[in-house]
Amino acid sequence: MKKIIITGGNGFIGSNLINFLLRKKFFIINIDKNAYSKKSYLLRDIKNVNYKFYKLDINSKKIRNILSKYKPDAIFNLAAETHVDRSIDSPKDFINSNIIGTFNILEQMRNYKKKYKKKIRLIHISTDEVYGDIKKKYRSNEESPYQPSSPYSASKASSDHLIKSYSRTYNIDAVISNCCNNFGPGQFPEKLIPTLIFNILNNSPLPIYGKGINSREWIYVEDHCSGLFDIYKKGKSGESYNIGTGNDYSNLNLTKLLLKVVKDKKIKIGNKVKIKFVKDRPGHDLRYALDCKKITSTLKWQPSKNFETGLKETFDWYYNNYVFFENFSKKKFFKRLGLKLW
């Protein structure tokens, strides 16, 4: 049985990926420092003998011991600080986790390769935000220049460059994925869609930055997991692959669509549930959009979930698992961030 390490496995994408890989009969080692919650809600019922959890920061040198003990086939690196607003308030945390943490993983992989004369494959999960603002009618491909606009996207761009340098210089087997915005079951409440759902269920205004014209591309998390699996199986070492869907929505149109989903379900919406335009994020990119011809043509990957269907299923999950929100500190996750410039 092949063994796979997932760093950041208690996070939204990580926990979905763990369940995805367990269904495919892999032995999973989850490394997470539990920065966001005491445990993963999506992993709460795991009783699988093919699963092991380590509470550990990816900056720890103990990563070396885990590599030696399990001799994994691959590492999926999802350990990262990810919220743009939070990066504006506390950029140092993003440097430590996203850059220095990635450096530590690469160094431990390099030492492992030297000691055991064997490679571990690294799948590094990055973001479409490294490409920066994209003009209308254009989409970023894997050859597009990096133009990060926030401390978060700059830290991810830096880690991408580190990985490509280690792949070329030290012959580390590494592949990078740059994915669009994820949504689905178990996403943390600091993100847009779960924030909107929480507020709808609590008869509260729906905060939209600026005029709501900022556009993002969206992918259902299960589709992202299938794309990552195809990259692990068939991706070329040293290469990058965009993962996207072409489902582009402005924040305003997404909010209107979500309200329609709720109304169609005959769920009563409170009188305070109204769109409220709030102060925009500093340096807020207007549009992200990915060209995914590379992964669809070379790896034959395709997303399977229609956006509106995924949105309906996501709302149903939060509606039926409202206790999920109780795992998080309201002070930490429901407070507006990204406005402390000095």
pLDDT digits (tens, 9 = 90+) for 143-190: 999 999 999 999 999 999 999 999 999 999 999 999 999 999 999 888
Is 155 a member of any domain? yes
Any residues with CB less than 8 A from the CB of 270 and at least 6 apart, and which? 203
Q: Residue 342 — pLDDT band, cuts 50, 70, 90?
A: very low
246-255 pLDDT, tens digit each: 999 999 999 9
Is 257 a member of any domain? no
| Confidence check: pLDDT of 283 > 90 | no
Mean pLDDT of 39-57: 90
**Facing residues of 208 across strands?**
277
Is 78 a member of any domain? yes
249 is catalytic: no
Is 330 a member of any domain? no
112-151 pLDDT, tens digit each: 999 999 999 999 999 999 999 999 889 999 999 999 999 9
Mean pLDDT of 24-52: 87
More confident residue, 136 or 293: 293
| Cα–Cα dist 245/305, whole Å | 9
Q: Which of 57, 129, 190, 230 is catalytic?
A: 129
| Average pLDDT of the residues of the chain | 93
Residue 45 confidence (pLDDT): 84
Residue 335 confidence (pLDDT): 59
Is 112 a member of any domain? yes
Q: Which of 51, 112, 152, 220 is catalytic?
A: 152
Annotate 293-323 with DSSP letters as a single string.
Answer: HHHHHHS-------HHHHHHHHHHHHHHTGG
Q: Residue 341 — pLDDT band, cuts 50, 70, 90?
A: very low
Residue 250 confidence (pLDDT): 97
* Structural domain boundaries, residue 162: 3-187+219-246+288-306
Percent of the chain with pLDDT over 90: 84
**Domain of residue 22, CATH code:** 3.40.50.720
59-88 pLDDT, tens digit each: 999 999 999 999 999 999 999 887 788 888
Residue 37 confidence (pLDDT): 57
| Cα–Cα dist 144/245, whole Å | 18
| Confidence check: pLDDT of 332 > 80 | no
R_g (Cα) of the chain, nearest Å: 20
Residue 35 confidence (pLDDT): 64
285 is catalytic: no
230 is catalytic: no
Q: Which of 57, 85, 128, 190 is catalytic?
A: 128
Is 196 a member of any domain? no
Is 318 a member of any domain? no
CA 342 to chain centre: 28
What's the structural domain count of the chain?
A: 1
pTM greater than 0.75 (yes/no): yes
Q: Residue 339 — pLDDT band, cuts 50, 70, 90?
A: low
Is 38 a member of any domain? yes
Mean pLDDT of 47-67: 95
